[in-house]
Structure 1
Amino acid sequence: MSDALAEFDRQLDHLVRLGYPALAGRSESAFRDGLAPLRDVVAARPDADVERGEDHIPFVLVPTGLPRQETTARTALGKQQGFTVLEAGELTTFRPIEGVDVPDGPGYLLFDIDTGTEFLNVTPQDALVKITGDGRSPLTIDEGIALVTARPDMLRKNKCFSLLASRCGDKRVPALWISDRKPKLGWCWNGNPHTWLGSAHAGERVGL
């Protein structure tokens, strides 16, 4: 078994252990069966086990259609459980921005992910221009949660990240950072830079 396939299996097993089948209203076997075809996508990708530095991971499995308060609460740094300051109803108002197409189905793969430390102390609005100009895509809230769920080591002190692909029609930009040693899903203003907050981006989304 390749390292990439072992990583896919690890991520899927981790979601099951965290109770994602129940969140999705499905049995464990139905949850696994719904995402299993994505394993073949990973197997066919020569870049699925290529890491390019400390800010990069090759792929993450992104389950869809789940309550964000619940998925945020299933992130953790060590034994410190994640949380959000956004209400459940408010979280549903954040949707993908124009130009970001999220695949249909119970989940998909996000490839070539970078946590975006090159955008530390750069405003989200300026980071978005550079990311899209480079032919890449910012991350959605669900993708950020999936990233920290699968790889909590990627949420690092003074190297946290905004999720520029999810907006709700105002000037707020969602972000994930560390608060009291816990993952926190909050928001910052579109025009404000922060020395500890970059903007995550990825190369491609592949669905079923």
Structure 2
Amino acid sequence: MTSEATSEQEVRALPSLSVQAERLIATGVLEHEASRLTAADVRAAAAELEGRAGAGALLVASETALPVRILVPSVTRMQRGQERPGFVVVDMEDLEEFLPTVEAAVPDARVYAVEDPSRGDGMRNWSPAEASEAIGAESRTPFTVAEGVHWALQVPEVIDRNACFMTIGSRRQKKNGFDSRTPALWISNGTGRDGRERRGAVKLGWCWWNNRHTWLGFASGSRRVG
């Protein structure tokens, strides 16, 4: 990892929800057989939400309407002149089992908005357990994995070397408690099972609940509007 990274203040602000809708539609992902949304659905939802959500809010398709796994490849990043699609690590075959937590309760809507997104740079090198407590104390809500992927789709530079984030609003329930893995988005170095061809690509992987990483903050928002 290099020491240079885009600061949170330098991350480009989100455009209007209607512009975000067009970006999502342009990926072609709504045509996937697993999608339960049409372009008309997304445009109508974005137009309606613009009257209720604050400026700078993030447009999100719920995981039940648009599975995260099929959206990840649309999160592209340039590496040495080549566009690299995002990918899910091979040992997250159970990604669909990482569901929104009580702290990240999503609206009962196929498309909704999250206000005031933050990458949580000030929490870099914190454990997810520590960050969860701090986010709650600030009356904010942790991002789900779907919200993190949608943000990276709309503003690619939010995932940068030395400045990426975890999405602790999504966890996998077990018989007693939660899975210790925590979803996160960062940039692949192209090593190990990632493969050299994925160097520089956005990677949806995981970190342990009690571990700390100097390059990972914790994404959160102020509230969801659905």
How many residues align structurally?
Answer: 192
Q: Does 1:146 align with 2:150?
A: yes
2:57 aligns with 59
Letter in 1 for 2:39: F
Equivalences for residues 93-132 of structure 1 within 5 A:
93-132=97-136
Q: Does 1:41 align with 2:49?
A: yes
Contact 1:171 1:190 in 2 (8 A): yes
Q: Matched residue of 1:103: which SS?
A: coil
2:70 aligns with 70
Cα displacement (A) at 1:11: 1.1
Q: Matched residue of 2:94: which SS?
A: helix
Q: Deviation string for 1:154-191 (max 9, x for gaps)?
A: 11110100001001121111000011211100000111
Structure 1 stretches (4+) deviating beyond 4 angstroms?
24-27, 86-89
1:51 aligns with none
CA distance in 2, matches of 1:135, 1:185: 26
CA distance in 1, matches of 2:14, 2:69: 29
Unaligned runs of 5+ residues in structure 1 are 49-57
Letter in 2 for 1:174: P
- Pairing partner for 2:25 from 16, 27, 31: 16
Q: Matched residue of 2:149: which SS?
A: helix
Letter in 2 for 1:97: T
Cα displacement (A) at 1:193: 0.6
**Most deviating of 68-77 and 128-137:** 68-77
Letter in 1 for 2:100: P
Identity %: 34
2:138 aligns with 134
Evaluate the alpha carbon distance shift between residue 25 and residue 196 of structure 1 in structure 2; reply closer, same or farther with a 3 A threshold.
closer
Letter in 2 for 1:76: T
CA RMSD in angstroms, aligned pairs only: 2.1
CA distance in 2, matches of 1:127, 1:86: 26
1:197 aligns with 216
Contact 1:121 1:198 in 2 (8 A): yes
Cα displacement (A) at 1:25: 4.2
CA distance in 2, matches of 1:173, 1:6: 29
CA distance in 2, matches of 1:18, 1:108: 19
Q: Matched residue of 1:125: which SS?
A: helix
| TM-score normalized with structure 1 length | 0.84
